[in-house]
Amino acid sequence: MDKQFFGGVAGGDSTAQPGVANRNNKPRTLATSGSKQDSLETLDSPTGSHVEWCKQLIAATISSQISSVPPDTASGDCKVWRRTDLPRVSKRPVLRDSMEGGHIYQGNSDSELPPNALAPRDGSKQVQMDEVPLVPGETIKAVAKDVMYICPFTGLVTGTLTSTNYKLYFISLERDTPFIMDVNLGAISRLETISVQSHGENTRGMEIVCKDMRSPRFAYKEDASQPEIVEVLAKHTFPLSNDLPLFAFLYKEEFPVDGWKVYDPIAEYKRQGLPNESWTISKMNSSYEVCDTYPALVVIPSSIKDDDLKRVVSFRARHRIPVLSWIHPESQATIVRSSQPLVGPSDRRCKEDERYLQTIMDANAQSHKLTIFDARQSSVADNNKAKDGGYESESFYPNVELNFLEIPNIHVMRESLRKLKEVVYPTIDEAHWHSAVDQTHWLEYIRLLLAGAVRIADRLESGKTSVMVHCSDGWDRTAQLTSLAMLMLDSHYRTLRGFQVLLEKEWISFGHKFAARVGHGDDNHANSERSPLFIQFIDCVWQINRQFPAAFEFNELFLITILDHLYSCLFGTFLYNSEQERVAKEVQTKTVSLWSYINSQPEDFTNPFYVDYEHHVLYPLASIRHLELWTGYYVRWNPRMRPQMPVHQNLKELLFLRAELQRKVEELEREASSSRGSLSSSSEHTSSPSHSGGTPLHTIV
Amino acid sequence: MVRMCSASFLNRDISCRRHLSPERDRVTITSRLLQSQSPAGSFRANHQPAPSEPITSRLLQSQSPAGSFRANHQPAPSEPITSRLLQSQSPAGSFKANHQPAPSEPITSRLLQSQSPAGSFRANHQPAPSEPITSLLLQSRSPAGSFKADHQPAPSKPITSRLLQSRSPAGSFKADHQPEIKSEKEHSRKEKHPDLLPGEVVFCSASTVLKYTQDDLSQRGVFGALLCTNFRVSFVSDEAPAEEMGQLFKNKLYGENDIPLSCVDNIYGGYEDKKKLLTGGLMKNKYPSKIIIHCKDLRVFQFSLTFSKEEDAKKIFQGIIHHCLEPKSLRCLFAFSYCENTSYPEMQRKKQTVMFDSVEDWTQDMKRTKGNCRLVSENRSFELSPKLPQFFIVPANVSDEDLTKYQGKGLPMWCWSHHSGCALFKTASLPLLPEDNVPQTHMEKMLTAVAHNHLYSVKTEDLSETLPTVQDIQLSYNKFKQFFLIDNTTEFWMSDMKWFSSLDNCGWLDIIRQCLQKAVEVVECLEKENTNVLIMEEGGSDLCCVVSSLVQLMLDPYYRTLLGFQSLVQKEWVVGGHAFLDRSNHLHLKDKVESQSPVFLLFLECVWQLQQQHGPAFQFSETYLTVLSDSVHVPVFTTFLFNNDSHRDSILRAESPHTQRGPLNCPTVWDWSVQFDCKAQDLFTNPLYAEKPKQDKSVRKSHRPKHLRQLSLPSSAFKTPPKKGFFKDEADSLKKILRVKRISRWMLSPSDSPQTSSSAREFYEAWQAKPLDYHGLLLPCLDGPSIRVWMQRYLRWIHDVQILGGGPVAVLSKVSEILGEVQELQRELDRHGCTLASNHKGARPRAKTAAEIASRSSVRLSSSFPFVTSRNWSFKPAIPTSLLQSLMVTGIAGNLADRADDGDDLQSMV
């Protein structure tokens, strides 16, 4: 972060003028200059030339503002849907990223709302537009007036920028449709400011690089009398770097449902039929002494002796021994996860580890084999040997079959997503869209992951063979693969609650390093530990969801909400790296769970098309032809890519109609039965099946 | 009871016996012994299958010099059995087949094509009572062959046994035929092809052709007969067709193994490992062992001819090449012989699609859109120009004299009137002749005429300058379709890696985008600027059709209904004079190769994009569009057979005297019952279609709904009495002066594209900002991610990309299920309304729609529903074969890939 601070007095008139946005020529000017500069940025990434282009951009924008005469506002024909659902908002704010304040569903293209913003409900009501909506526990820290938002889609907008301890909130009332944009501070990965000399005055530019695929840019006059908003912003954006608590600990909302109760490991294992004669729920890690990144409860073979287990513990990287993730209800074939064995350059053996795997194999009577899926590229796995890691040798482990899934590591993924952002934000190159997406390799990696998970699921289902999955440490690619395979195999995980359990179990409790991978509240944006592995996983889920539109109880909004709150730091769900840390920080008592919010209004997150594909294994097609870039998430800031009406809206209407009719029929039947008096009072009884009849409803009806 | 039908001659004792005696129950048998090349191999297959499992046994292609084959079948009762002994090339081969089938089942056993120098065949049939038996001994070419066939047929059953075409130098045949056989010919025909269409004639055929199943390189396949008729190339499998729910969507004209001749796109010959494009003409050199047929509906067939008799193979090969690739005359197309042989009921078109073949149709349409132009009926018998339709509409100011000039070129033809009064016109542009400025003045005159239509403003758009040419379209599509014409799995997964880049390279999606973009620009002129628009191109019947119909689809909700859409195609394309015959080059005329181009498909693609983005606005479904795109290549319908109205008229008139029954009466494609039954047609409608709630009843009363107006428009302009309108015109004289300037400007510079595209962008954004009305204006989003590949059409035949249990059908079935419930409740409610006190406990009968049946088992349907039957259903997932190589190729990982996941090193605990 290189910030440059310049003192200076700002002259008012030239920057006040830009406020009146010119819809007819502004976007064009911006788009051209923007795209030209973007290519520069591509060449030399984070800072250097980037600052340069930012300067140019701001200068160009400002000068064009001055020269242009504001025409009649063409936006007069735009119909506005104003704030909706007010009573509910005051009670419980909608928490989707940038939805706060975005309760105003504007059709107008300049509002930066995610596409999945729910359609307006009835009873729209005007609110105080200049008021910043706050969530309980949120306080305003700084306000700056006459700030220009350099919107890459519609041009300059002048308004008020407010920084709270939770979000950055920009509102402009200069058009007849209020323009609102807000960014959760947690979503910000980097703040940069530059100073531009333009027409004799100092203008300050600020770029906010976000983790959620956008980089809003602001320009404002320097004003000595105003507190420096950037400093305040930086302080609260990176609380950990400034000895402040994460906002989740300040958030005071109360929900009717307690999301921390969603996952109970004992109950989940019991659902799978565990413990049984071969597997036991072990408390050996109850104080996190055996393995500090594993949960307190793990399922291990029941016949294993403590001494042997110790040997196995020391033979596996970071003590992450093979433990059970999922067991097939019929064949008893299991998905087991672990870290890499510490084979080292000298091909060390560990008899206990070999026996341990044999025990896992024996627990499944249907097959006399065990398949190990090493998620890494085989060359990398070889290199790991030099670093004391490695992989199981098929000659030492009898009946074991080793497969490499050839998935690149977290750095490759980070780079891929960075490229993807360049493709989708702010402008899209129409003509070369597909090649550009191809260049990022993002979908290729998605395909690789899906293909790997399909192989795992197939081995279990058709091969009835137990499977062990590991990468290096067993908390990144391993979590991706096991949870995807479980999603394919077990229809329970495809429900709204079941998916929450899956995340709590495979990701959160098994120590996916959320804090390190996301970098909550940390200002070190260049940290190589950061990587979008969880996003990649959710993307895979979305891809499966798209291929099987009726197989999931949850909808796209649910997935987007999860990703938004992965960054927001509003909930405690995705904070910290391991269960141990979470217990130490008392996350469950001091913060709110994301699932509390979700499960308090599940109707927003359910898929109206849902049909329970019970006991049906889903095999998504890992073909690029069937993969698609998730525009609903990655390109959602582009107003042109937004659907005007959610596709599901029609079906929801249909469901509503059905409920309405059912009600009417019931009423009539009741009437009929009462008119016939006491003769057949039982007829009321017969009408009730029609109410609940047919398929179960999962949506608001 | 044993009747001998024997032909025995000379030499050794190769015998084939069939003993038949009933045993066990419910078994079919499949077992294959393939391609034995052992020098002295002996094969034995004993099948004693357990009950209720299907088995087929085949012994194929033994090339052992001294091979002996034995197959014992002991199948159980009530099961079909097919057992074949094929093509022994052993110099001294012996075949034995014992069949012991049970009563009451059909048996087909064939001994085919022995090429053994000294072969003897024996077949004993001891069939049970009451069943038909056909046993054929065909085509022995052994120099000294002996045949023996024992038939022990039961009473009261037709038996056919034939010994055909023996060309052994010393062959003698004796055949005792059962007197019961009455119609042998019919029987055999039936056996060969169960459902020839009326007027269909088989040209040639070959048996024992192997049709490869597409999925892999293992060369597995199904045996059957390959036929070439005047309608199609047809493969009749020897195996009993599986009756499954895929039959729901059966096309009545051709099945899944039939290729209508006009549907054949390319034929390749397979020579060992090479694949060569065949181009007709006589094959001088070696005949290929394999024929690969690429169809225009993107199916791929691979047939192997190596197992059938050489003579037959040659014949069928030549036949297919000749009938599929050689130039022919229009009268050879199947439609004519089909129509002569069917008494086709006159389509009750008055209740259906508007055909635009009468004055009423045109006046109705003009009335509906409140157009104010002049209907021309002087071309009723094409006196004015053969290029013009019988009836058409021109601006009111066009004089009679103007009509006759330039054979209809440069004549602005009315397409559609916007509710503001401005209208869309299209024209074939006049050739530019610099030395002669008569066309110039004519054009100006025409423009003035158009301008007089509304507000004296007109905008011209020359599509030839701004859109790709028909040749570009053809080139691009040729590249594009290659991604879907896939011969085997390996090839598929290899091409999967390059998918996105190849998509961009072929440019097909970009052409779609450009067409939609152009249509949006025209819509903007009509909707926002309220100017008349005149689109023109050289012929006036290709891209003009695309753009004008897209514009109407975006502006007029009527055309988004099923019947409306069909009327639109009829108006703009069929009557509008799109040269379907030349563009699809059904006749394979060498001089028309250049003009071949999938322009109509391009239009359907654009419609599909619109439909994807605004599903509920369309009454018809994606499946409908796919089927329509296929129907272009079925030469039965008059809709797509001709180049224009006069062409159709002259051909049909010329053909009529040949028939006894008066004028030829061919079906149009819109009569879907020719192809599909009612249940299948249900899949043409979109269950999520948002019907205009109020209109419901009025629509049903008048089959031509009123032109729907937007709310945003001042309605007074149309309700004003004529006099007032006249005054209004007068008052607008000031405007007139202003607009005349604009006209001249446009005539000088017809397009200012860079500006229009960005203004179109703004136009889209302004429209997007408003709440969406499915019955109002619809605009497509044209950004990169929004233009997609029409998966259903292009991927439906590729086995590896079928999502089992998924795809859009999952949603479709859920919706139709709920829709069914809603309708049922509605009925319930109505019933209650009528008779409040009547019994309401009765069971509610419910009509089952096709989609509903589908919903019963949506888990078992695949993404290619309804086009591919779920016969191939298996739970095995498709795993990319080139999984591992993929990233090696990309190589972008570089040093990143070698880095450890975390900064710190591993801690060693040992």
**Across chain B, how many H-helices and E-strands are there?**
28, 26
pLDDT of B153 above 80 = no
User: What mean pLDDT do residues B438-453 have?
Assistant: 81
User: What mean pLDDT do residues A71-92 have?
Assistant: 34
Mutation for testing the B interface, residue in A470, A548, A556, A670 having most B CBs under 10 Å: A548
In a 3-state reduction of DSSP, which class is residue B56?
Answer: strand
Regarding beta strands B232-237 and B221-229, do their DSSP bridges make them parallel or antiparallel, or are they unpaired?
antiparallel
| Structure-token pair, residue B511 | 């052409």
pLDDT the model gives residue B282? 62
pLDDT the model gives residue B865? 77
User: What mean pLDDT do residues A321-332 have?
Assistant: 94
The β-bridge partners of B27 are B53
- Which residue in A595, A299, A624, A568 sits closest to A444, CA to CA? A624
Q: How far apart, in whole angstroms, are the C-alpha atoms of residue A104 and residue A121?
A: 11
pLDDT of B20 above 50 = no
User: What mean pLDDT do residues A528-546 have?
Assistant: 95
pLDDT the model gives residue A259? 94
Considering only alpha carbons, which residue of chain A is nearest residue B782? A430
User: What mean pLDDT do residues A85-89 have?
Assistant: 34
Whether the bond into A18 is cis, omega within 30 of 0: no
List b or e across B362-395, with b for residues whose CB sees 16 or more CB atoms inside 10 angstroms.
Answer: beebbebbbbebbebeebeebebbbbbbbbbbbb
Q: How far apart, in whole angstroms, are the C-alpha atoms of residue A607 and residue A600?
A: 16
pLDDT the model gives residue A339? 96
User: What mean pLDDT do residues A405-413 have?
Assistant: 94
pLDDT the model gives residue A245? 93
Q: How far apart, in whole angstroms, are the C-alpha atoms of residue A533 and residue A515?
A: 12
Q: With bands split at pLDDT 50, 70 and 90, how would you rate the model's confidence at A151?
A: confident
Cβ contact B899–A623 (<8 Å): no
Average pLDDT of chain A is 79
Mutation for testing the A interface, residue in B483, B492, B500, B895 having most A CBs under 10 Å: B500
Most confident of A118-127, A473-482, B393-402: A473-482
Q: With bands split at pLDDT 50, 70 and 90, how would you rate the model's confidence at A603?
A: confident
Cβ contact B858–A655 (<8 Å): no
Q: Which of residues 499-528 of B touch A (CB under 8 A)?
A: 499-501, 503-505, 509-510, 513
User: What mean pLDDT do residues B403-421 have?
Assistant: 86
Q: With bands split at pLDDT 50, 70 and 90, how would you rate the model's confidence at B216?
A: low
| Residues of A with catalytic function | 471
Name the residue facing B782 among A404, A430, A626 (closest C-beta): A430
Q: Which of residues 158-187 of A touch B (CB under 8 A)?
A: none
* % chain A with pLDDT above 70: 75
Q: Is B892 on the interface with A (CB under 8 A)?
A: yes
Cβ contact A387–B905 (<8 Å): yes
Tell me how long chain A is.
701
Between A and B, how many CB-CB pairs are < 8 A?
303
Regarding beta strands B56-59 and B30-33, do their DSSP bridges make them parallel or antiparallel, or are they unpaired?
parallel
Encode pLDDT of B816-834 as tens digits: 788 788 888 888 888 776 6
**Chain B residues close to A461, C-beta within 8 Å:** 875
Encode pLDDT of B242-293 as tens digits: 555 445 678 888 888 899 999 999 999 888 778 888 887 666 667 788 889 9
Cβ contact A626–B875 (<8 Å): no
Max Cα–Cα distance, chain A, nearest Å: 93
Class of residue A287 by CB neighbours under 10 A (exposed 0-12, middle 13-18, buried 19+): exposed
In a 3-state reduction of DSSP, which class is residue B162?
Answer: strand
Per residue, the 3-state secondary structure of A386-409, as one string, reads HCCCCCCCCCCCCCEEEEECCCCC
Minimal C-alpha gap between B822 and chain A (Å) = 5
CA atoms in the 13 A half-sphere facing the CB of A320: 30
Q: How far apart, in whole angstroms, are the C-alpha atoms of residue B409 and residue B540?
A: 8
Ramachandran area for residue A615 (φ above 0: left; ψ -120 to 50: alpha; else beta): left
Mutation for testing the B interface, residue in A624, A648, A668, A676 having most B CBs under 10 Å: A624
Name the residue facing A411 among B786, B886, B899 (closest C-beta): B899
Cβ contact A672–B782 (<8 Å): no
**Chain A residues close to B880, C-beta within 8 Å:** 447, 451, 622-623
Cβ contact A616–B859 (<8 Å): yes
pLDDT of B455 above 90 = no
Cβ contact B807–A547 (<8 Å): yes
Per residue, the 3-state secondary structure of B859-890, as one string, reads HHCECCCCCCCHHHCCCCCCCCCCCCHHHHHH
Q: With bands split at pLDDT 50, 70 and 90, how would you rate the model's confidence at B68?
A: very low
**Chain A residues close to B686, C-beta within 8 Å:** none
The answer to whether B852 and B820 are in contact (CB under 8 A) is yes
Q: Which of residues 384-403 of A touch B (CB under 8 A)?
A: 384, 387-389
The answer to whether B339 and B661 are in contact (CB under 8 A) is no
| Consecutive H or E run containing A66 | helix A48-67
pLDDT of B792 above 70 = yes
Most confident of B72-86, B134-148, B486-500, B775-789: B775-789
pLDDT of B176 above 50 = no
Residues 6 or more apart whose Cβ sits within 8 Å of residue A127: A82, A83, A86
In a 3-state reduction of DSSP, which class is residue A568?
Answer: helix
Minimal C-alpha gap between A609 and chain B (Å) = 6
Minimal C-alpha gap between A612 and chain B (Å) = 10
pLDDT of A596 above 60 = yes
Residue that wins the pLDDT comparison between B865 and A276: A276
Q: How far apart, in whole angstroms, are the C-alpha atoms of residue B407 and residue A498?
A: 71
The answer to whether A524 and B899 are in contact (CB under 8 A) is no
pLDDT the model gives residue B736? 44
Most confident of A61-70, A231-240, B344-353: A231-240
Minimal C-alpha gap between B584 and chain A (Å) = 28
Minimal C-alpha gap between A257 and chain B (Å) = 30
| Consecutive H or E run containing B375 | strand B374-376
Q: What is the CA radius of gyration of chain A?
A: 28
- Which residue in B724, B725, B694, B688 sits closest to B708, CA to CA? B694
Minimal C-alpha gap between B124 and chain A (Å) = 44
pLDDT of A445 above 80 = yes
Q: Which of residues 658-687 of B touch A (CB under 8 A)?
A: none
- Expressed in angstroms, the distance from the first to the final Cα of chain B is 88
The answer to whether B373 and B534 are in contact (CB under 8 A) is no
Q: How far apart, in whole angstroms, are the C-alpha atoms of residue A185 and residue B27?
A: 70
Cβ contact A389–B828 (<8 Å): no
pLDDT the model gives residue A687? 34
**Chain B residues close to A657, C-beta within 8 Å:** 822
Q: Is A117 on the interface with B (CB under 8 A)?
A: no
**Chain A residues close to B910, C-beta within 8 Å:** 314-315, 342, 344, 348
Name the residue facing B876 among A462, A618, A625 (closest C-beta): A462
C-beta neighbour count of B491 within 10 angstroms: 12
Cβ contact A629–B615 (<8 Å): no
The answer to whether B84 and B109 are in contact (CB under 8 A) is yes
Cβ contact B785–A406 (<8 Å): no
Name the residue facing A455 among B758, B826, B879 (closest C-beta): B879
pLDDT the model gives residue B475? 94
**Chain B residues close to A637, C-beta within 8 Å:** none
Q: With bands split at pLDDT 50, 70 and 90, how would you rate the model's confidence at A211?
A: very high
Per residue, the 3-state secondary structure of B222-276, as one string, reads EEEEEEEECCEEEEEECCCCCCCHHHHHCCCCCCCCEEEHHHEEEEEEEECCEEE
Angle between helices A648-675 and B808-834 (to 10 degrees): 30
Q: What is the dihedral of CA B625, B629, B632, B635, to 10 degrees?
A: -90
- Which residue in B347, B389, B327, B233 sits closest to B637, CA to CA? B347
pLDDT of B65 above 70 = no
Cβ contact B800–A695 (<8 Å): no
pLDDT of B538 above 70 = yes
Cβ contact A551–B910 (<8 Å): no
Q: With bands split at pLDDT 50, 70 and 90, how would you rate the model's confidence at B372?
A: confident
Tell me how long chain B is.
910
Average pLDDT of chain B is 69
Q: How far apart, in whole angstroms, are the C-alpha atoms of residue A476 and residue A453?
A: 14
Q: How far apart, in whole angstroms, are the C-alpha atoms of residue B723 and residue B782?
A: 44
The answer to whether B581 and B642 are in contact (CB under 8 A) is yes
pLDDT the model gives residue B841? 40
**Dihedral angle sign, alpha carbons of residues B342, B346, B352, B354:** positive
Q: How far apart, in whole angstroms, are the C-alpha atoms of residue B149 and residue B163?
A: 9
CA A65 to chain centre: 37
Encode pLDDT of B625-661 as tens digits: 999 999 999 988 888 988 988 888 888 888 766 555 5
Q: Is B876 on the interface with A (CB under 8 A)?
A: yes
The answer to whether B390 and B384 are in contact (CB under 8 A) is no
Of A285-294, A616-625, B832-841, the least confident: B832-841
In a 3-state reduction of DSSP, which class is residue A514?
Answer: helix
Residues 6 or more apart whose Cβ sits within 8 Å of residue B538: B428, B429, B464
Measured CA distances, A426 to A108, A213, A216, A638, B270 (Å): 18, 9, 9, 7, 50
In a 3-state reduction of DSSP, which class is residue B608?
Answer: helix
The answer to whether B185 and B160 are in contact (CB under 8 A) is no
User: What mean pLDDT do residues B343-358 have?
Assistant: 69
Q: With bands split at pLDDT 50, 70 and 90, how would you rate the model's confidence at A650?
A: low
Q: With bands split at pLDDT 50, 70 and 90, how would you rate the model's confidence at B5?
A: very low
pLDDT the model gives residue B434? 60
* % chain B with pLDDT above 70: 59
Tell me the whole-structure pTM to 2 decimals.
Answer: 0.77
- Sole residue written with tokens 């057979």: B641
* % chain A with pLDDT above 90: 54
Cβ contact B765–A640 (<8 Å): yes
